[in-house]
Amino acid sequence: MHYLRDRGTIHPLGSEITPRAVYLDRRRWLALAGAAMWPALSPAQTARPGKLAALPGSRSTVPGALVMDKTTPYGDASTYNNFYEFGTDKADPARHAHTLKPRPWTVAVEGEVKKPGNYDIEALLKLAPQEERIYRLRCVEGWSMVIPWVGYSLAELIRRVEPTGNAKFVQFVTLADRKQMPGLASSVLDWPYVEGLRMDEALHPLTLLAFGMYGEVLPNQNGAPVRVVVPWKYGFKSGKSLVKIRFVAKQPPTSWELAAPSEYGFYSNVNPQVDHPRWSQATERRIGEDGLFAKKRATLMFNGYEPQVGQMYAGMDLRKQF
């Protein structure tokens, strides 16, 4: 498109402006196309890999929970990921996570809550109806995926444990067992792996307590048996294989903040305008779709979830609170 500049304002040429009638008709056809695409993305027809126990979920009604992008092939989503407890190479988790034992499993709820306690994984599974949610996942390293997760809003658990007025943040602690996790022999991070969210972030309906993906329970390498998924933040914010959920009064230190505070902030919202010190965050490569030499796609603010979550950060300096 060509533009005219007038007193500092840029205008498109009139000849290149789409007529209103054409625009409205285009929107009608896009809506029809979206309706036609939905059956291929619906929970009832999500193709199961068939290797793990089935975990179906009903279609989510949470605004923004069903991205219409093409989903990433299961083979890519389950073999190209970060889980340093099993090694730092992208293929290490799939190679080594068979040593993880996701049953029996207990998650401790601690801190500023009226109803602390230990939750067996089976009890957590039954706490609320399971939903399928198709989320974008954006890694800080510049790659992305689209994954159909199965779980329910973390808020369901939070409401049941009744946080006190002192609870301002939620901390998540990943299992650290050297017998099950060979990557713990590395000093790349201080173990256990810890992450955190502000309370309003944790309560947001898009924040998912996930037990499965692609219609099945989570593979070990993807955070079995339970993890968090926060779709508008970089992937490392979504703690895997959780053993503790703590409600605290002060902002908790997180693993990557402690390891490299100039590179990884507490909020870690996907922001194409704030570069990582060692690379740009303006573009991304979609795994399973974009080849190594394909043109990268533009990264969306808040990973495309700005309409749902942007208001939580109104007035914040997102360059300093990154």
Q: What is the pLDDT of residues 55-76, one digit of tens each?
A: 999 999 999 999 999 999 999 9
Q: Where are the domains of the chain?
A: 1-41, 45-313
Residue 34's pLDDT is 39
CB-CB contact of 142 with 279 (8 Å): yes
Asked if the model's pLDDT at residue 14 lies above 70, the reply is no
pLDDT digits (tens, 9 = 90+) for 91-108: 999 999 999 999 999 999
Asked if the model's pLDDT at residue 26 lies above 50, the reply is no
Residue 261's pLDDT is 94
C-alpha angle 136-203-120 in degrees, rounded to nearest 5: 90
H/E run at residue 144: strand 143-153
pLDDT digits (tens, 9 = 90+) for 131-179: 999 999 999 999 999 999 999 999 999 999 999 999 999 999 999 999 9
Which string of b and e fits 133-159 if b means at least 16 CB within 10 Å?
Answer: bbbbbbbbbbbbbbbbbbbbbbbebbe
CB-CB contact of 56 with 47 (8 Å): no
Average of per-residue pLDDT values in the chain: 88
Spatial distance between the Cα atoms of 149 and 51, rounded to a whole number of angstroms: 16
In CATH terms, the fold of domain 45-313 is Sulfite Oxidase; Chain A, domain 2 (3.90.420)
pLDDT digits (tens, 9 = 90+) for 252-300: 999 999 999 999 999 999 999 999 999 999 999 999 887 767 889 999 9
Asked if the model's pLDDT at residue 23 lies above 80, the reply is no
- 189 vs 24, 29, 85, 182, 197, CA distance in Å? 53, 50, 9, 13, 19
The stretch 209-234 carries a mean pLDDT of: 98
Spatial distance between the Cα atoms of 97 and 222, rounded to a whole number of angstroms: 9
Spatial distance between the Cα atoms of 130 and 148, rounded to a whole number of angstroms: 12
